[in-house]
Structure 1
Amino acid sequence: MQAYQGLFYSNKELLNRICWANNGTLGPGNAIIFGGVKRDQAVWPGDMGVAFPSTFVSIEGFDGVKNALQAVYDRKNSDGSFQEAGPSLLRQMSETYHIRSMFSTYNYLLCTDDTSFLQENQAKYLKAMDYIYGKVDSRGSLNVTGTCLYRDPLTGADLATWTNDTTGLNTTYTARATSLQTVINTYCLRRLLQRV
């Protein structure tokens, strides 16, 4: 089943119906949020910004969010990058969705104080932070997603504080946020104001 990507088509209608019914029920054996409306039934970290609060309001719990995040962490690439979409699509190469995975991690921990989740995934989170900062260019910006990236070091600094980190991550991440803010103001905001 691990190789199955969730896509199936046969010229036999009964097989297609069985497959789609199976897609709707496959999962880790408990709650998980995914892009079911898209009919691909994959975990989409970029959608968690909406799915997270609506899941809490509708079912009053975070199990689905935790399990979706864990699916993302379990399938993190060796270079530290998160996949754009989790099982069953396993798409690659979206810095925006990578950043959204990190946002969702922070939001989940902020709302639940689930320290065991953080401890279990902390090394993967740190590698993910290193990955995305490895994409920052010589000006100190990340093309397209620079303003989204600004939130990552701020939330990363909070997570470092929550885990009583003694390696200086809080200082490192805060400095990155300050630097990125300067770059955004220099290259984006000032140019925008010059046009007005």
Structure 2
Amino acid sequence: MTKKRQFLRLALIAGFYLCLIAGGRWLGMTIEEQLQLSNLAQADMPYLGTLAAVLAAYIVLTAIPFVPGTEIGVALLMVFGAPVAVVVYLSTITALTLSFTLGRLTPERKLAGWLKRRGLVRAAALIEAFARLGPEGRDRYLTQNAPRWLKPWLVNHRMITFIALINLPGNTLLGGGGGIALVTGLSKLMSFPQFFLSVAVAVAPVPIAVVLAGWIGG
């Protein structure tokens, strides 16, 4: 009976996880279609109010875990090009910083209790253990308990790890940019300056490529 309950619990978690991915994908695509970015580009630039509304939707979507809001940002860059590159870049940083801040402000003990009530005992125990530790204690915990191959990336090179995860193809499976930033905030393994520097580097490649393409193309 116990094994059956464990199997059902795992099946429910897996089903919920798949629903998050599918739902986030659907929401992102639906809103992107509703915005009809290609129509906005019929003029050289959209009205300022319309562009502001699109960017506000982009920030909210990108901040939500499992929602591929970055696709709207890429669509904006592809449609309008270099003139909006800096604005999209700053909007992406704003969205991910919002998720990170929410994670940092989430009460750890309440989150652990919520997870425990839903049968996620190991996740709850990990959060409770982290809640009792300071920054140095968290590093020691990871050094002692993380898989050997992960230790350098979680302890010594966590900024590089974050940058790589943000740019990893298919990172929606890990929660997307918003989910990764949220978990990073929850872990409290990165300070605000470290996170801000990491996210500024992580989201820069595409806007820089668009600006260079526009400059080279004349």
TM over 0.5: no
More helix by share: 2
